[in-house]
Amino acid sequence: MTGGISRVDDEMVHTALYEAATVLLSRITRFSARKRWGLEVAKRRGLKRAEVAVARKLAVILHRMWIDGSTFRWTKTEAAHA
12-26 per-position pLDDT tens digit: 888 999 999 999 999
Tell me the pLDDT tens digit for each residue of 26-63: 998 888 889 999 999 999 999 999 999 999 999 999 99
Backbone angles phi, psi at 71, to 5 degrees: -105, 160
Q: What is the pLDDT of residue 74?
A: 73
pTM of the entire structure?
0.77
In a 13 Å sphere around the CA of 41, the CA atoms on its Cβ side amount to 19
